Amino acid sequence: MQHLREKSAIAGTGTVGLGKAVPMNYAAITALLAPRSVAVIGASSDPARIGGRPIATMLAAGFQGRILPVNPARDAIQGLPCYPSVAALPETPDAALIAVPARDVARVVDDLGRRGCRTATLFSSGFAETGEAGRQEQERIIAIARSHGMRILGPNTLGVFNVNHRYFGTFSSSFEAGLPLPGNIGIASQSGAFGAHLAVIARDRGLGASVLVATGNEADITAGETIGWMAQSDEIDVICAYLEGINEPRSLLAGLDAARDARKPVIVLKAGRSSIGSHAAVSHTASLTGDAMVADMVLRAHGAILVRDSEQLLDVAYVAHQRIQPRSATLGFVTVSGGAGIIASDEAEAIGFAMPPMPEDAQAELKALMPISTPTNPLDCTAQALNQPELFERFTRAALEKGGYGAVVCFMTYVAGSPTLAPVILKAMAPLRRDFPDRLIVICGTGPAEVIGQYEKAGFLLFTDPSRAVRALHAVVGLGAAFSAPRRALPPPPAVAALPDQTPDEAEAKRILAGAGIAVAPERTAGTPGDAVRAADQIGYPVVLKILSPDILHKSDIGGVKLNIGDAQAVRGAYAEIMASVAVKAPDARIAGVLVARQMTGGVECLMGISRDPTFGPVAVFGLGGIFTEILNDVALRQCPFDEASAREMILSIRSAAILKGARGRKPADIGALARMLSRLSLFAAGAGVKLRSVDLNPVLALAEGEGAFALDAVMEIAVAGAGGQ
């Protein structure tokens, strides 16, 4: 937990404690993406300039709406009548593109608002991305827009395009090599240049990425709102998102939830994961990046598919654009190459993609058909398929029909692109696409574009690399089950008594947590050696003595802990040794005495705790204690609050969960007691509010099943007003 606490403390201020979902009106930004008329403020006759390029592109694309250039120095621009001011426009535009210096933006926004314009895209830069003065001016502009009920995209944005409406409200130069293709993929990007880069790659791959929204500084319209709009659009089925920071978590999670409800996958490439990348994100789009592990956990919990690079993002979008969501999240691999089968199997195992073997009767049938084959999974039909191309169909059909796999890859290598064999193979394979419409079928091969492209026209997915195919399929095969799973209602957080104004010592922290239902070991406080002896006599030997101070979090490091104390004389000696050591190593610490606790043994040591993420609020962590945490970094995270069922899922998700379940003859630990404690801790954190910065329970001792779980140590950190707390 320490690493989470430290990162949260330096990540900067942000939105915390998300609370209830915020209802979103996505239709309000339709005018931004499908306007009937658009004013271009700062319009230029030069198609290479920011104020001229969107006009030129829309004219070339055949935009059916009305383009209204505004420039007081021109009577006509690119063959269109030009108007000297917003007030002089012959009609109120649905949208406006603003390409004027930053100093003039506020006036233009006010003019547009007074005219009744519904949305504006601010190409202009020089705002929050430049520092405090720019941020204040940006806030002033948004306040003006809101006073008129107008929505703003940007500032510092590349703009939008919507191919299906032939609308290009962007100054991107990427269209010089060709317009984006119509299709069912949308892109929401906080970076304009990178979003356009994705659109260009999609176009060059033949993918129809028909909508791009670059949100820039996100002073008003966010990536989350854009995702939500695409979720409700009849024209978009797959959503790609490039995020550098999460400026408004409520709108982002609402957008992800809307997409999940609409059964539309959202593929997210989250940048700013490294310290260098995070710094660049702040300077680029005035975004704050929180802890990467926390962001990943929260985004996945709301249905996002996370990818690490643009290639994988578009691979997954390519698979998902077929809108096939198999019931079975399993992979079958048919191949003419044993090597390709091994590569695919290695990749599948590494990412957790199940490749169960074919049923024995199906294996026997295929073995009779081709005696030298290996029809398990991978299904190796051998190079004999070069002589008998129909084997591709027989083995692939068996994998789909008898194996029941949700996705099947047929590795044909260069055979697929053979001008003589391809027509024969395609004729045999084509019925599979008709007979198994609910399965994902990939042809993995190479060859001339005019030959290999015939497989895509027949409805097959096409990859050249088996590992890329496996990764992309794995991201999509689980969507059907994920979209169908009922969403678990969050338990209401309880009312929490007022927390202390400063970080408490261990005894006070445990008292507060006990009030929330957290079980702790029997213990007493003692201010003198005699008090310590009396406490030990009451608790029963052996006992543990620990220094009690709100200023000392890591007691063992300064000799503040003594274990296995068996009698009164040993208690007195341990008390004296602790006080002497602390006096030397922490002379300024406030000392309240010692904590005398029962020495508990056996069971499994775990850790659980809370850290307040600057973006998503309280986050719970669970893992095994000791070396399992330090060496393996084997922990699970979940946003608070959550119920016992979710806590149990979280506990069993760690890689070392087998230790809790009773590996190597050990008795199973009391996982139910752990789940109750973890859920109660999450509820406490959600109810405590922003004053609670963190809680560490380490170790938590999980005894044998039915015997309970107890927090043996507790550290609670309070955010002190005026000292960086939230």
**Inter-helix orientation angle 449-457/422-435, to 10°:** 20
Phi, psi of 3 (to 5 degrees): -65, -35
**Inter-helix orientation angle 466-477/338-351, to 10°:** 40
Give residue 245's pLDDT. Answer: 86
Alpha helices in 87-165 (DSSP H): 102-115, 132-147
217 has pLDDT over 70? yes
Q: Which fold has domain 331-477?
A: Rossmann fold (3.40.50)
The string of pLDDT tens digits covering residues 224-261 is 999 999 999 999 999 999 999 888 999 999 999 999 99
Give residue 415's pLDDT. Answer: 93
- Tell me the torsion sign for CA atoms 189, 192, 197, 202: positive
Q: State yes or no: cis peptide before 614, omega within 30 of 0.
A: no
553 has pLDDT over 60? yes
Q: How far apart are CA 48 and CA 51, in angstroms?
A: 8
Q: Which two tokens stand for residue 701?
A: 């001792």
Q: Which fold has domain 30-232+239-300?
A: Rossmann fold (3.40.50)
Q: Which two tokens stand for residue 429?
A: 């394979």
Give residue 410's pLDDT. Answer: 98
Assess whether the region 522-598 and the region 604-718 belong to the same CATH fold.
no
Residue 276 pLDDT grade (very low, low, confident, very high; cuts 50, 70, 90): very low
For 69, residues 6+ apart whose C-beta sits below 8 A from its C-beta are 39, 40, 43, 55, 77, 78, 80, 81, 82, 83
pTM: 0.89
The string of pLDDT tens digits covering residues 301-313 is 999 999 999 999 9
722 has pLDDT over 60? no
Of 10, 12, 17, which Cα lies nearest the Cα of 691? 17
Q: How far apart are CA 259 and CA 270, in angstroms?
A: 18
Q: Which two tokens stand for residue 435?
A: 């007979």
421 has pLDDT over 70? yes
Q: State yes or no: cis peptide before 101, omega within 30 of 0.
A: no
Q: Which fold has domain 604-718?
A: D-amino Acid Aminotransferase; Chain A, domain 1 (3.30.470)
The string of pLDDT tens digits covering residues 561-571 is 999 999 999 99
532 has pLDDT over 50? yes
The string of pLDDT tens digits covering residues 467-516 is 999 999 999 999 999 998 888 888 888 888 889 999 899 999 999 999 99
Whole-number percent of the chain with pLDDT over 90: 82
Neighbours of 349 (CB within 10 A): 11
Mean pLDDT of the chain: 91
Exposed e or buried b for every residue in 655-693, given b needs 16+ CB within 10 A? Answer: eebebbeeeeeeeebbbbbbbbbbbbbbbbbbbbbebbb
CATH class of 522-598: alpha beta
Give residue 608's pLDDT. Answer: 94
Sketch the domain layout of the chain as residue ranges: 30-232+239-300, 331-477, 522-598, 604-718
Residue 455 pLDDT grade (very low, low, confident, very high; cuts 50, 70, 90): very high
For 653, residues 6+ apart whose C-beta sits below 8 A from its C-beta are 636
